[in-house]
Amino acid sequence: MHDLAKNPVQFGETAFTRKKLRREFTAKCFFGGMAALMVIPLILIVGHVVIQGWPSLSWEFLTTNPRLGGVKGGIWSIIVGTLYIVTISLFVSAPIGVLAAVYLNEYARESWFTRIVNLAVVNLAGVPSIVHGLFGLGAFVYAAGMGKSIVAASLTLAIMTLPVIIASTKEALSSVPMQFREACWNVGATRWQTIWRIVLPNSISGILTGVILQVSRAAGETAPVMLTGVAIFKGVEGTGLFLYDPFRDQCMALSMHLYYIATQAHNAAPSLPFAIATVMIVLVLFVNATAIAFRSWLRGRKKW
Protein backbone atom coordinates (compact mmCIF):
# COMPACT_ATOMS: atom_id res chain seq x y z
CA MET A 1 0.00 0.00 0.00
CA HIS A 2 2.87 2.35 0.76
CA ASP A 3 4.34 1.81 -2.74
CA LEU A 4 0.98 2.48 -4.37
CA ALA A 5 0.57 5.72 -2.48
CA LYS A 6 4.00 6.92 -3.55
CA ASN A 7 3.38 5.96 -7.20
CA PRO A 8 -0.35 6.61 -7.92
CA VAL A 9 0.01 6.40 -11.74
CA GLN A 10 1.19 2.83 -11.60
CA PHE A 11 -2.15 1.63 -13.01
CA GLY A 12 -2.76 4.68 -15.25
CA GLU A 13 -2.16 5.13 -18.99
CA THR A 14 1.26 4.20 -20.22
CA ALA A 15 3.06 5.60 -23.23
CA PHE A 16 2.29 2.37 -25.11
CA THR A 17 -1.44 2.66 -24.34
CA ARG A 18 -1.54 6.30 -25.47
CA LYS A 19 0.21 5.31 -28.70
CA LYS A 20 -2.42 2.64 -29.36
CA LEU A 21 -5.23 5.09 -28.67
CA ARG A 22 -3.73 7.63 -31.08
CA ARG A 23 -3.51 4.96 -33.78
CA GLU A 24 -7.11 3.96 -33.09
CA PHE A 25 -8.27 7.57 -33.37
CA THR A 26 -6.30 8.04 -36.61
CA ALA A 27 -7.84 4.90 -38.13
CA LYS A 28 -11.32 5.99 -37.04
CA CYS A 29 -10.87 9.42 -38.67
CA PHE A 30 -9.49 7.85 -41.85
CA PHE A 31 -12.37 5.43 -42.32
CA GLY A 32 -14.87 8.10 -41.35
CA GLY A 33 -13.37 10.33 -44.03
CA MET A 34 -13.74 7.54 -46.59
CA ALA A 35 -17.41 7.19 -45.68
CA ALA A 36 -17.88 10.96 -45.97
CA LEU A 37 -16.26 10.94 -49.41
CA MET A 38 -19.01 8.58 -50.56
CA VAL A 39 -21.90 10.45 -48.97
CA ILE A 40 -20.93 14.07 -49.64
CA PRO A 41 -20.83 13.77 -53.49
CA LEU A 42 -24.23 12.06 -53.39
CA ILE A 43 -25.70 14.90 -51.34
CA LEU A 44 -24.16 17.50 -53.65
CA ILE A 45 -25.42 15.79 -56.81
CA VAL A 46 -28.96 15.29 -55.51
CA GLY A 47 -29.05 18.83 -54.13
CA HIS A 48 -27.87 20.30 -57.44
CA VAL A 49 -30.47 18.31 -59.39
CA VAL A 50 -33.31 19.34 -57.08
CA ILE A 51 -32.31 23.03 -57.07
CA GLN A 52 -31.97 23.15 -60.86
CA GLY A 53 -35.26 21.34 -61.42
CA TRP A 54 -37.29 23.24 -58.82
CA PRO A 55 -38.73 25.85 -61.28
CA SER A 56 -40.46 23.08 -63.25
CA LEU A 57 -41.67 21.05 -60.27
CA SER A 58 -45.33 21.50 -59.40
CA TRP A 59 -48.43 19.45 -58.73
CA GLU A 60 -49.60 20.11 -62.28
CA PHE A 61 -46.26 18.81 -63.60
CA LEU A 62 -46.82 15.53 -61.77
CA THR A 63 -50.51 15.02 -62.57
CA THR A 64 -50.88 16.04 -66.23
CA ASN A 65 -49.79 14.29 -69.40
CA PRO A 66 -47.02 15.56 -71.72
CA ARG A 67 -47.85 17.69 -74.74
CA LEU A 68 -46.05 18.93 -77.84
CA GLY A 69 -43.62 16.04 -78.05
CA GLY A 70 -43.00 16.01 -74.32
CA VAL A 71 -41.55 19.50 -73.98
CA LYS A 72 -44.77 20.88 -72.49
CA GLY A 73 -47.25 19.60 -69.95
CA GLY A 74 -46.52 17.13 -67.19
CA ILE A 75 -45.22 13.58 -66.80
CA TRP A 76 -48.12 11.60 -65.33
CA SER A 77 -48.41 9.08 -68.18
CA ILE A 78 -44.62 8.72 -68.12
CA ILE A 79 -44.66 7.85 -64.43
CA VAL A 80 -47.42 5.31 -65.05
CA GLY A 81 -45.46 3.75 -67.93
CA THR A 82 -42.38 3.44 -65.73
CA LEU A 83 -44.44 1.76 -62.99
CA TYR A 84 -45.87 -0.70 -65.55
CA ILE A 85 -42.44 -1.72 -66.78
CA VAL A 86 -40.84 -2.01 -63.35
CA THR A 87 -43.76 -3.87 -61.80
CA ILE A 88 -44.12 -6.44 -64.57
CA SER A 89 -40.37 -7.08 -64.69
CA LEU A 90 -40.38 -7.52 -60.90
CA PHE A 91 -43.23 -10.03 -60.98
CA VAL A 92 -41.35 -12.04 -63.61
CA SER A 93 -37.79 -11.89 -62.33
CA ALA A 94 -38.37 -12.18 -58.57
CA PRO A 95 -40.10 -15.61 -58.54
CA ILE A 96 -37.75 -17.07 -61.17
CA GLY A 97 -34.65 -15.68 -59.44
CA VAL A 98 -35.68 -16.89 -55.99
CA LEU A 99 -36.65 -20.37 -57.21
CA ALA A 100 -33.40 -20.69 -59.19
CA ALA A 101 -31.39 -19.68 -56.11
CA VAL A 102 -33.30 -22.18 -53.95
CA TYR A 103 -32.45 -24.97 -56.37
CA LEU A 104 -28.79 -24.01 -56.61
CA ASN A 105 -28.33 -23.60 -52.86
CA GLU A 106 -30.63 -26.26 -51.41
CA TYR A 107 -31.03 -29.01 -53.99
CA ALA A 108 -28.23 -29.01 -56.56
CA ARG A 109 -25.10 -30.99 -55.87
CA GLU A 110 -21.65 -29.93 -57.01
CA SER A 111 -21.32 -31.00 -60.64
CA TRP A 112 -20.40 -29.72 -64.05
CA PHE A 113 -24.00 -28.61 -64.58
CA THR A 114 -24.17 -26.43 -61.46
CA ARG A 115 -20.75 -24.97 -62.23
CA ILE A 116 -21.97 -23.99 -65.71
CA VAL A 117 -25.15 -22.45 -64.24
CA ASN A 118 -23.21 -20.44 -61.67
CA LEU A 119 -20.78 -19.28 -64.34
CA ALA A 120 -23.69 -18.27 -66.58
CA VAL A 121 -25.23 -16.22 -63.75
CA VAL A 122 -21.95 -14.40 -63.12
CA ASN A 123 -21.40 -13.71 -66.82
CA LEU A 124 -24.99 -12.56 -67.31
CA ALA A 125 -24.50 -9.94 -64.62
CA GLY A 126 -21.60 -8.47 -66.60
CA VAL A 127 -23.37 -8.21 -69.96
CA PRO A 128 -23.90 -4.55 -71.02
CA SER A 129 -27.48 -3.36 -70.96
CA ILE A 130 -27.48 -2.53 -74.68
CA VAL A 131 -26.75 -6.20 -75.41
CA HIS A 132 -29.76 -7.17 -73.30
CA GLY A 133 -31.77 -4.71 -75.35
CA LEU A 134 -30.68 -6.33 -78.61
CA PHE A 135 -31.52 -9.76 -77.19
CA GLY A 136 -34.97 -8.54 -76.16
CA LEU A 137 -35.49 -7.04 -79.60
CA GLY A 138 -34.70 -10.34 -81.31
CA ALA A 139 -36.27 -12.73 -78.79
CA PHE A 140 -39.43 -10.97 -77.67
CA VAL A 141 -40.22 -8.32 -80.29
CA TYR A 142 -39.52 -10.43 -83.38
CA ALA A 143 -39.19 -14.14 -82.49
CA ALA A 144 -42.03 -14.23 -79.93
CA GLY A 145 -44.16 -11.85 -82.02
CA MET A 146 -44.86 -9.47 -79.15
CA GLY A 147 -43.92 -6.40 -81.12
CA LYS A 148 -42.66 -3.32 -79.36
CA SER A 149 -44.76 -3.41 -76.22
CA ILE A 150 -44.62 -2.95 -72.47
CA VAL A 151 -44.42 -6.70 -71.90
CA ALA A 152 -41.44 -7.06 -74.27
CA ALA A 153 -39.60 -4.26 -72.46
CA SER A 154 -40.46 -5.73 -69.05
CA LEU A 155 -39.25 -9.21 -69.98
CA THR A 156 -35.99 -7.75 -71.24
CA LEU A 157 -35.47 -5.95 -67.94
CA ALA A 158 -36.41 -9.11 -66.04
CA ILE A 159 -33.66 -11.10 -67.76
CA MET A 160 -31.17 -8.30 -67.16
CA THR A 161 -31.89 -8.17 -63.43
CA LEU A 162 -32.11 -11.92 -62.76
CA PRO A 163 -28.42 -12.35 -61.77
CA VAL A 164 -28.69 -9.78 -58.96
CA ILE A 165 -31.72 -11.53 -57.47
CA ILE A 166 -30.16 -14.99 -57.81
CA ALA A 167 -26.87 -13.95 -56.22
CA SER A 168 -28.45 -12.06 -53.30
CA THR A 169 -30.94 -14.88 -52.65
CA LYS A 170 -28.18 -17.48 -52.57
CA GLU A 171 -26.29 -15.39 -50.03
CA ALA A 172 -29.41 -15.00 -47.92
CA LEU A 173 -30.14 -18.73 -48.00
CA SER A 174 -26.54 -19.55 -47.11
CA SER A 175 -26.73 -17.28 -44.06
CA VAL A 176 -29.37 -19.51 -42.43
CA PRO A 177 -27.47 -21.87 -40.06
CA MET A 178 -27.25 -25.49 -41.17
CA GLN A 179 -28.34 -26.53 -37.67
CA PHE A 180 -31.83 -25.23 -38.49
CA ARG A 181 -32.07 -27.61 -41.43
CA GLU A 182 -30.63 -30.55 -39.52
CA ALA A 183 -33.09 -30.05 -36.66
CA CYS A 184 -35.99 -30.17 -39.11
CA TRP A 185 -34.67 -33.25 -40.86
CA ASN A 186 -34.17 -35.02 -37.54
CA VAL A 187 -37.87 -34.66 -36.69
CA GLY A 188 -38.94 -36.04 -40.06
CA ALA A 189 -39.52 -32.89 -42.15
CA THR A 190 -38.88 -33.14 -45.87
CA ARG A 191 -36.41 -30.90 -47.63
CA TRP A 192 -39.19 -28.78 -49.13
CA GLN A 193 -40.96 -28.42 -45.77
CA THR A 194 -37.68 -27.25 -44.26
CA ILE A 195 -37.14 -24.72 -47.02
CA TRP A 196 -40.71 -23.40 -46.92
CA ARG A 197 -41.16 -23.25 -43.16
CA ILE A 198 -37.66 -22.44 -41.91
CA VAL A 199 -35.14 -21.38 -44.55
CA LEU A 200 -37.20 -18.92 -46.59
CA PRO A 201 -38.80 -17.08 -43.62
CA ASN A 202 -35.37 -16.58 -42.03
CA SER A 203 -33.78 -15.36 -45.27
CA ILE A 204 -36.55 -13.13 -46.61
CA SER A 205 -34.81 -9.92 -45.49
CA GLY A 206 -31.73 -10.79 -47.55
CA ILE A 207 -33.88 -11.72 -50.53
CA LEU A 208 -35.49 -8.30 -50.40
CA THR A 209 -32.04 -6.76 -50.82
CA GLY A 210 -31.80 -8.19 -54.31
CA VAL A 211 -35.32 -7.05 -55.12
CA ILE A 212 -34.49 -3.50 -53.99
CA LEU A 213 -31.48 -3.44 -56.30
CA GLN A 214 -33.61 -4.81 -59.12
CA VAL A 215 -36.22 -2.06 -58.76
CA SER A 216 -33.59 0.68 -58.74
CA ARG A 217 -31.81 -0.65 -61.80
CA ALA A 218 -34.96 -1.36 -63.79
CA ALA A 219 -36.30 2.15 -63.20
CA GLY A 220 -33.14 3.79 -64.51
CA GLU A 221 -32.31 1.68 -67.57
CA THR A 222 -32.69 3.28 -70.99
CA ALA A 223 -31.07 1.10 -73.67
CA PRO A 224 -33.09 -2.14 -73.13
CA VAL A 225 -36.49 -0.44 -73.04
CA MET A 226 -35.65 1.96 -75.87
CA LEU A 227 -35.28 -0.98 -78.25
CA THR A 228 -38.19 -3.08 -77.04
CA GLY A 229 -41.19 -1.06 -75.90
CA VAL A 230 -40.67 2.58 -74.95
CA ALA A 231 -41.64 5.43 -77.28
CA ILE A 232 -40.11 8.90 -77.34
CA PHE A 233 -43.59 10.39 -77.24
CA LYS A 234 -47.02 8.82 -76.99
CA GLY A 235 -50.16 10.86 -76.60
CA VAL A 236 -52.47 9.52 -73.89
CA GLU A 237 -55.93 10.68 -72.82
CA GLY A 238 -56.87 10.60 -69.17
CA THR A 239 -54.88 10.54 -65.96
CA GLY A 240 -55.77 7.21 -64.39
CA LEU A 241 -53.58 4.19 -63.74
CA PHE A 242 -54.89 2.07 -66.62
CA LEU A 243 -53.55 4.08 -69.53
CA TYR A 244 -51.88 1.28 -71.50
CA ASP A 245 -52.52 -2.23 -72.76
CA PRO A 246 -49.30 -4.02 -71.72
CA PHE A 247 -49.52 -6.57 -74.56
CA ARG A 248 -50.15 -4.13 -77.40
CA ASP A 249 -49.07 -0.63 -76.42
CA GLN A 250 -45.78 1.10 -76.15
CA CYS A 251 -45.39 3.57 -73.32
CA MET A 252 -43.20 6.43 -72.22
CA ALA A 253 -40.67 5.92 -69.42
CA LEU A 254 -38.84 8.39 -67.21
CA SER A 255 -35.35 7.23 -68.19
CA MET A 256 -36.03 7.48 -71.92
CA HIS A 257 -37.89 10.78 -71.54
CA LEU A 258 -35.01 12.26 -69.57
CA TYR A 259 -32.55 11.19 -72.27
CA TYR A 260 -34.70 12.71 -75.02
CA ILE A 261 -35.32 16.02 -73.24
CA ALA A 262 -31.67 16.41 -72.23
CA THR A 263 -30.16 15.61 -75.64
CA GLN A 264 -32.69 16.24 -78.44
CA ALA A 265 -35.49 18.56 -77.31
CA HIS A 266 -33.79 21.90 -77.86
CA ASN A 267 -36.90 23.98 -77.15
CA ALA A 268 -37.52 22.51 -73.69
CA ALA A 269 -37.12 24.57 -70.52
CA PRO A 270 -33.60 24.31 -69.04
CA SER A 271 -35.03 23.10 -65.73
CA LEU A 272 -37.15 20.34 -67.29
CA PRO A 273 -34.46 17.60 -67.44
CA PHE A 274 -33.54 18.26 -63.81
CA ALA A 275 -37.19 18.10 -62.77
CA ILE A 276 -37.58 14.72 -64.47
CA ALA A 277 -34.40 13.49 -62.80
CA THR A 278 -35.71 14.68 -59.43
CA VAL A 279 -38.92 12.70 -59.87
CA MET A 280 -36.91 9.60 -60.79
CA ILE A 281 -34.74 9.96 -57.69
CA VAL A 282 -37.76 10.46 -55.42
CA LEU A 283 -39.59 7.44 -56.86
CA VAL A 284 -36.57 5.16 -56.48
CA LEU A 285 -35.89 6.44 -52.95
CA PHE A 286 -39.53 5.92 -51.99
CA VAL A 287 -39.59 2.34 -53.26
CA ASN A 288 -36.23 1.58 -51.65
CA ALA A 289 -37.23 3.15 -48.34
CA THR A 290 -40.45 1.12 -48.25
CA ALA A 291 -38.61 -2.12 -48.99
CA ILE A 292 -35.87 -1.32 -46.46
CA ALA A 293 -38.44 -0.58 -43.74
CA PHE A 294 -40.19 -3.88 -44.47
CA ARG A 295 -36.85 -5.68 -44.42
CA SER A 296 -35.93 -4.11 -41.07
CA TRP A 297 -39.27 -5.17 -39.64
CA LEU A 298 -38.66 -8.74 -40.78
CA ARG A 299 -35.16 -8.74 -39.31
CA GLY A 300 -36.58 -7.59 -35.99
CA ARG A 301 -38.74 -10.70 -35.87
CA LYS A 302 -35.76 -13.06 -36.16
CA LYS A 303 -35.10 -15.26 -33.17
CA TRP A 304 -31.40 -15.65 -33.84
CB atoms within 10 A of CB 87: 14
Q: What angle do CA 60, 64, 70 make, to 5 degrees?
A: 110
SS3 content of the chain, % helix, strand, coil (to 5): 75, 0, 25
Per-domain boundaries in the chain: 14-54, 57-300
Name residues whose C-beta falls within 8 Å of residue 176's C-beta, 6 or more positions apart in sequence.
198, 199, 202, 203
Please say whether the beta carbons of 198 and 179 come within 8 A.
no
12 burial (CB, 10 Å; 0-12 / 13-18 / 19+) is: exposed
* pLDDT tens digits in sequence order for the chain, 304 residues long: 455 555 555 556 788 888 888 889 999 999 988 888 888 888 999 999 999 999 988 899 988 888 888 888 889 999 999 999 999 998 999 999 999 999 988 888 888 888 888 888 888 888 888 899 999 999 999 999 898 999 999 999 999 988 888 988 998 898 888 888 888 888 888 888 899 888 888 888 888 877 887 787 788 888 888 889 888 888 888 777 888 888 988 998 998 889 888 888 888 888 899 999 999 988 888 887 887 787 777 777 665 5
Where do the H-state alpha helices sit in 1-111?
A: 2-6, 15-53, 59-63, 76-102
Please say whether the beta carbons of 214 and 161 come within 8 A.
yes
The CA-based diameter of the chain, rounded to the nearest angstrom, is 96
Amino acid at the residue 185: W
Q: Which of 215, 223, 229, 79 is nearest to 158 (CA)?
A: 215
Please say whether the beta carbons of 235 and 140 come within 8 A.
no
At the fourth CATH level, the homologous superfamily of domain 57-300 is MetI-like (1.10.3720.10)
- Give the number of residues written for the chain: 304
